[in-house]
Structure 1
Amino acid sequence: MLIIHTSDWQIGMPARTMTEEARHRFRHDRVDAAERLLAEASSRGACCVIVAGDLFDDNTLSEDQIQRTLGVIARQQLPIVALPGNHDALEPHAILARDDLPDQLIVLDSWEPRTVVPGLEVVGAPWRSRIPGRNPAWDTVRALESYGPPPAGTVRVLVAHGQWERYDSVTTHSTLPADEIVAALDTGLIHYVALGDHHSYQIFVGGRVAFSGTHEVTAADERDPGWALAVTLEPSHPPAIERIRVGRWRILTLAETVTSADDVAAIAGRLRTLEDPARCVVRLHLDGTLPLAARLTLEQNLEAAAAALAGFELDVERVASLSDASIPADFHLRGAAATAFERLLDDPDPVSQAALRLLARLALEGNER
């Protein structure tokens, strides 16, 4: 039996660091990625798709975003099983509690086992608020003990949302009951645990517990996002997991040291040649020391090189300039402008340094006319 395990679609996420046009494309592409995944699931003959939390980024999305997503789901022939997570919890007016959801969308709104197709039971741990007292999976696992094992020949999947490991040895509202889940696996109460919330692929317990990771990147600190899992399940065998590539976007964090104008030019060249720049966000952190002219025009040159990117964040706070206390020859400054430039050179105040860079930019733009 083949299922597709995915999570954290976060349809409608704001992507505030991108340009307005890129934000629109990013939100649109998250739905497109989900549609590609559903098409892949159908082509592989999967019996269902399980979204382990956070199908939507928020319960207050625009109706256009909601209807476009529900329309994609409604066009599918196979069931899509969705667990309410922390972003789309079953609060009042939750999207996943609407009356107009497609018949193909099965919402896990309780911890009772649900028969999705013959031979497959799914039991969920739905979030009912963004910050519950503890992870709902604690109650679901306890309830499983009263239900007992699934019928012979039936595979049972636990769908939960949260963090498997305890960070800094502190239990939070998102911490999953790892020991209790492993015990449920070992006693045959469940056969596979489909997890969401951690946006990078990760497996535990010999592949019986897995985070699928997000289908499309959401943040720079995610490790290899943009995948889903094709999971083959049999009651008497360990799960067989295959990763499916889905996402197209990238959010890159780069760190470079610059000591010359040539270094800056090389970085600019790499920015201009990034693959599919319209779906790429770059966060560039620089350190080092540059000649005065190169330092003063650093932002201008790199921002121009990054113009085609969906988003660009530049950190140059750790880049100093060689203090030669002279006006670069190619600036061609005279009179009051030259006097102001020389005064600003000696003033370390951030406002003065910003004014100095602006004056340098105006001088270079004047040379180009």
Structure 2
Amino acid sequence: MKLIHTADWQLGKPYGRFEPEVRAALSEARFDAIDAIGKEAARNGADHVLVAGDVFDTEGPEDRTIVQAISRMERHACHWWLIPGNHDFARNGGLWDRVRQRAGSGITVLSEPQAHEIEPGIWLLPAPLAHRHNLDDPTELFDTMETPGSRIRIGLAHGSIRDFGTQGETKNQIAPDRARRSTLDYLALGDWHGTLNIDPRTWYAGTPETDRFQRDEPGQVLLVDIGDGRDPVVTPIRTGRFQWIKRSWTVNDQAGFDAECDQLLGSID
């Protein structure tokens, strides 16, 4: 089967340090990425899109952010599977109840750690976050989730295989060998905003629209082709509109700085 793996949309991100016109363009690009994902799913014959957490930037987005997100997803025939991440964690009466009230049958919110048979013999094992920070491995429950008659087991989680922060205790830490431990054919992860391959069956998709200066490869989704008894074939697909470019220059005066800027701007579409 083929699916699209994506994560870290962070819809409603405010981009507060930018001018209003730039903020609006960056925000709209994140919604446009949903359409890009839906089109890639159709083009590649992928019936399912797995969104590995942080669909929204906060667990209390404005109604218009939720409505626009649902509207964009419902334009496309694929089925969207969403889990809460650390930015949009699940709580009773919160964000995800609001999403359910508005969403149609093509959008499923996985706010409970219960396996779902998404096609005959193909099971999706979600690890939604109920709190912003968890000290336990949210994917440990995969070991005991029942998937009767399974041919393919796919994990969907949000957290850190390694410590992406700089200080303190690592939160939402996921065992680096979780795919092997839980006999997963593929583990779709979110949290890291660039595409990152952990092992043949474990990937971070990264954010589909770049939102910061970032190493690795942001602005992509993953097309995943999973078959019985073999490693998945994973193909990154570019979906992002904007690139965030960082340059270091040594200049002696304003004219030198202006020349470097002109050269950089001339090289950008």
TM-score in terms of structure 2 length = 0.91
Do the aligned partners of 1:5 and 1:228 also contact (CA within 8 Å) in 2? yes
Q: Which residue is 1:340 aligned to?
A: none
Aligned equivalent of 1:266:
259
Between Structure 1 and Structure 2, which shows a larger proportion of helix residues? 1
- Matching residue of 1:194: 188
* Cα distance in 2, alignment partners of residues 230 and 221 from structure 1: 21
Cα distance per residue 1:293-346 (max 9 Å; x no partner): xxxxxxxxxxxxxxxxxxxxxxxxxxxxxxxxxxxxxxxxxxxxxxxxxxxxxx
Q: 1:106, CA displacement in angstroms? A: 1.1
Aligned residue for 2:60, secondary structure, equals coil
Contact 2:194–2:207, Cα closer than 8 Å, also in 1: yes
Shift of 1:253: 2.1
Output aligned runs, 1:1-369, within 5 Å: 1-98=1-98, 99-138=101-140, 140-144=141-145, 147=146, 150-152=148-150, 154-166=151-163, 172-185=170-183, 190-205=184-199, 207-276=200-269
SS of the residue corresponding to residue 178 of structure 1 reads coil
Q: Whole-Å Cα distance in 1 between the matches of residues 149 and 121 of structure 2?
A: 9
Show CA shifts across 1:93-152 (max 9, x none): 4322222222111111222210112232101000111123434223x23433xx2x6525
Contact 1:88 1:94 in 2 (8 A): no
- SS at the partner of 2:36? helix
Aligned partners of 2:210 and 2:242 also within 8 Å:
yes
**1:192-214 CA deviation, whole Å, 9 max, x = no partner?**
10000011111122x20000111
Q: 1:66 to 1:169 in 2, by over 3 A?
A: closer
Secondary structure in structure 2 of the residue aligned to 1:194: strand
In structure 2, the CA distance between the partners of 1:95 and 1:251, relative to structure 1 (3 Å rule), is same
Residues of 2 paired with 1:218 and 1:93: CA distance?
29
AA in 1 matched with 2:28: H
Cα displacement (A) at 1:166 = 4.1
1:233–1:239 CA contact under 8 A, matched in 2: yes
Q: Does the C-alpha gap of structure 1 residues 170 and 155 become closer, same or farther in structure 2, counting only changes over 3 Å?
A: farther
Q: Is the 8 A contact 1:73 1:102 kept in 2?
A: no
* Structure 1 residue identity aligned to 2:234: I
Equivalent AA in structure 1 for residue 97 of structure 2 = A
Q: Which has the higher contact order (CA 8 A, sep 6+)?
A: 2
Aligned residue for 1:41, secondary structure, equals: helix
Name the SS for the 1:259 alignment partner.
Answer: coil
Pair 1:142–1:35, CA change in 2 (3 A): same
Task: Give the Cα separation in 2 of the matches to 1:256 and 1:93.
Answer: 51
**TM-score w.r.t. length of structure 1:** 0.67
Separation in 2, partners of 1:160, 1:64: 26
Structure 2 CA distance for partners of 1:192 and 1:170, relative to 1, 3 Å: farther
Residues 150 and 156 in structure 1, CA contact (< 8 A), matched pair in contact too: no
| Partner Cα separation in structure 1 for residue 239 and residue 126 of structure 2 | 25
The Cα shift of 1:223 comes to 2.5
Could you tell me how far apart the structure 1 residues matched to 2:225 and 2:178 are?
24
In the TM superposition, what is the alpha-carbon distance from 1:169 to its structure 2 partner?
A: 11
Deviations 1:66-92 (A, max 9, x none): 111111122222210111101111124
Q: RMSD of aligned C-alpha atoms?
A: 2.1
Q: How far apart are residue 229 of structure 1 and its match? A: 0.5
Count of aligned pairs between the two proteins: 266
